[in-house]
Homo-oligomer: A and B are copies of this chain.
């Protein structure tokens, strides 16, 4: 209820402030008998960690994960899995200038109003640093999903500002996404994207963009009726990621311009399976996966932290001028790719387990 948990059966609860002692996640409901190692988790964390390249923040956090419980002799026990990441440079910096200041488009003001107190160091709980714990938990979900199904989750950057990847996902080799710094599976577009990020960085500004995600080989029957439709939980998962402002699945906003006779996905039998000829539904009907590809797009606004002087007010309603110090991501999208995948893996792990309950 307080917002820090996600999932019903495969349930995660995250904790930690950006500059507190540590951040972490408790996974409750992972079945016993899943092979799991530190490396499984660290691999995903390394994809998200800061300081990867010249187009991400220069902040250095090793983000070394520890497994405190729930794993024994290389397998899950069915008991809670606690994962811990210590904050390394927690006390290294002076944040007192932010004590009473409200940074534009940050959560400083709303947290202060809601709680009457906030940890003003680096955004505290509202910092995007918490997404590291999602990635750690997502790695466990991913492991579970691949042990129980054949599904794959692949996200990639499809727009940065006005640079759009014009091809649709079927024309791309999604296994090449990791080949460039910006995580766009098209070398030409990737180069252009990197260039405008470099420019924004030089100007002390920031950029937004769009991430596309594709789930292939999803089992039929995931998702629940009415309020927990698969697309509803995917939307919630995506909009819970910092900086996300939009979500569309299948035909999305463009599909609103089609007629029913064009949009309907006609069923046919192919290789003894029932499939649809088109896939405007995006692999989900009535909230439940139908076995076709699930694909959706996620809109990220430009990062709020910029290296320019900005006007604002403080808690006493005085006008102030703010200037960001230190390091920032001019564009979060490359690092957001593993976050999107992690959240999607968490949604799917939960529904895979829940689907064990639907029939007698």
Contact = CB atoms under 8 A, between A and B. Distances in A.
Interface residues of A, number: 156
B208 A16 contact: no
Interface in A92-145: 102, 104-107, 109-111, 113-119, 124-126, 130, 144
A80 interface: yes
A236 interface: yes
Give the residue among A130, A255, A263 with the most B Cβ atoms within 10 A: A263
Interface string A1-34: 1111110110101111100111110101101111
A124 to B, nearest CB: 7
Contact of A79 (B109, B225, B247, B356): B225
A143 B24 CA distance: 25
A232 B347 CA distance: 14
A268 interface: yes
Contact of A235 (B23, B238, B311): B238
A280 B289 CA distance: 34
B263 A208 contact: yes
Interface stretch (A50-58, A187-195, A294-302): A294-302
Nearest to A14: B226
A11 B208 CA distance: 36
Contacts of A9: 1, 357
B313 A268 contact: yes
A323 interface: no
B317 A80 contact: no
A290 B247 CA distance: 22
A159 interface: yes
A148 interface: yes
A346 to B, nearest CB: 10
A256 B33 contact: no
B359 A313 contact: no
A224 interface: yes
A342 to B, nearest CB: 12
A336 B248 CA distance: 18
A24 B359 CA distance: 24
A284 B301 CA distance: 13
Contacts of A119: 72, 77, 79
A360 B147 contact: yes
B249 A245 contact: yes
A172 interface: no
B253 A210 contact: yes
Contacts of A11: 1-2
A168 B23 CA distance: 42
A111 to B, nearest CB: 6
A13 B16 contact: no
A359 B115 contact: yes
B252 A68 contact: no
Contact of A80 (B14, B209, B247, B248): B14
A247 B255 contact: no
A347 to B, nearest CB: 11
Contact of A299 (B118, B252, B355): B252
26 contacts: A2-B11, A2-B78, A2-B80, A3-B224, A3-B225, A4-B225, A13-B26, A15-B68, A32-B116, A72-B124, A77-B115, A77-B125, A84-B84, A104-B266, A109-B290, A147-B360, A200-B260, A228-B240, A231-B239, A245-B282, A248-B248, A250-B301, A253-B253, A258-B302, A260-B305, A263-B301
